[in-house]
Structure 1
Amino acid sequence: MESATAVTLTLDLPGWPGHLAGQHVDVRLTAEDGYSTQRSYSIASAPNGRSLDLTVQRTSGGEVSPYLVDELVPGDRLELRGPVGGWFVWRQQQTEPILLVAGGSGLVPLMCMVRAREAAGSRAPFRLLCAARTPSDLLYRSELRQGAPGLDTTYLYSREAPADSPRPPGRIAPEDLVRSGWPPDFEPTCYVCGPTAFVEKTAAYLVLLGHAPERVRTERFG
């Protein structure tokens, strides 16, 4: 379990064509009576051509995530479509500074970028800003604590922060992006992912701070 409500699934995919960091797949479930439903899930693992990881957050009232989190067992088969997406991606040829801003489970595709950077041996400087409600809601806690060369990580908590947190609980604000992001004149590419309201507000803050709109890439859900 990544948290009390999230798990990471590793899928073996013979013949998988590979993916770019930031892409997603569509997962389709079909019941015995023929009813089917599908949801999109971001890929969490760096490309390796053999398998992929999906981190799934259980959604109350959802049709797909409760099954994936609570009922799926090793050996079960899933129907996938993908990989999907070509704009919200990081490529190893990119050398400019990168700012990643995640709200909740929006961390998943950004973590894929972090892992892809490390796997590729890239020296592009990364700064990761993770926003979560409480420390227990933060995904990939142990991996992020280990850190990586060239990766700076900052945590923001909206409801409850650890006692040693330098910042009190609260929603993301422009000063957080100034303190933990890149100056606009460094011309970073900014990736923002999370709930719609979080993404729209954060993207607006970045543009207000002087970042070029075309360098702010967003992916939203909910």
Structure 2
Amino acid sequence: MRWQQARLVHRRVETPTAHTLVLQVPGWPAHVPGQHVDLRLTAADGYQAARSYSLAAPADGDHIEVTVQRVPDGEVSPFLVDGYREGDPIEVRGPIGGWFVWRPTQTDPVLLVAGGSGVVPLMAMIRSRRSAGSRTPFRLIYSVRTPTDVFYADELRRRVRDDAGLDVAYVYTREAPDGWSGEPHRLGLADVNTHGWPPELTPLVYVCGPTGFVETVSDLLVGLGHPARRVRTERFGPTG
């Protein structure tokens, strides 16, 4: 793969610390939901820094979307969230990855489990399902610290209402919204058992989030009887 020149054409604010960047990449070869790209910045003195980001939406001509969360003291993410302006250049390499992907031709029930910003590649799958007119049943379990940390909050509410066959359940770990039943807690066995698909339906499962979260959820799923080969995982550390 080679580096390609891209430019920012639009941005959307998702949370106080996360923005979606819409990039124009001439000649983009298209991609599959679940893949990611590398973004590279070059300073005036020639210093370069690159980071990987999941693609947040299905292919749309020469436009791609990534959602970047600002990491305190990070090298790249603070600039992309706070300093990167429309029309500014950036280099892109990708698409990358072939295991953690979902294709609209697949018909098995899908369970998506996200921790924090791990929802980004799963959102690309949800959006692709809609754009392809797929009727594959989807369930998303989304673990976040507080309601203000939810990526794509308005869109998810709209999709639950309008996209038949899509269900979304939230787990809040630090602060729950007013009127929420129960106390904030880490995602556990009861959450997966209640909001996920039973293993006898042999769903295809995608789990994305920090390493500890992914390992915990994967163990819970296998313990409930989901075959390990049906559980696909993507883990990450802080992307600065």
TM score, norm. by length of structure 1: 0.98
Q: CA deviation at 1:221?
A: 0.6
CA distance in 2: counterparts of 1:131 and 1:98, whole angstroms? 17
Task: From 207, 214, 222, give the equivalent of 2:222.
Answer: 207
CA distance in 1: counterparts of 2:93 and 2:73, whole angstroms? 23
Partner of residue 92, structure 2: 80
Q: CA deviation at 1:33?
A: 1.3
Partner of residue 70, structure 1: 82
Task: From 160, 180, 185, give the equivalent of 2:175.
Answer: 160
Confirm or deny that 1:185 pairs with 2:197.
no
Larger CA deviation: 163-172 vs 105-114: 163-172
Task: From 111, 117, 120, give the equivalent of 2:132.
Answer: 120
Confirm or deny that 1:99 pairs with 2:105.
no
Partner of residue 24, structure 2: 12
Q: CA deviation at 1:90?
A: 0.3
Q: CA deviation at 1:167?
A: 3.3
Partner of residue 221, structure 1: 236
Q: CA RMSD in A?
A: 0.8
Contact 1:27 1:81 in 2 (8 A): yes
Give the number of equivalent residue pairs.
222
SS of the equivalent of 1:78 reads strand
CA distance in 2: counterparts of 1:119 and 1:184, whole angstroms? 28
TM score, norm. by length of structure 2: 0.91
Partner of residue 173, structure 1: 188
SS of the equivalent of 2:112 reads strand
SS of the equivalent of 2:73 reads coil
CA distance in 2: counterparts of 1:167 and 1:152, whole angstroms? 20
CA distance in 1: counterparts of 2:15 and 2:31, whole angstroms? 26
Q: CA deviation at 1:62?
A: 1.0
5+ unaligned residues in a row in structure 1: which ranges? Answer: none
Confirm or deny that 1:140 pairs with 2:155.
no
Q: Which runs of 4+ in 1 moved over 3 A?
A: none
5+ unaligned residues in a row in structure 2: which ranges? Answer: 1-12
Partner of residue 129, structure 1: 141
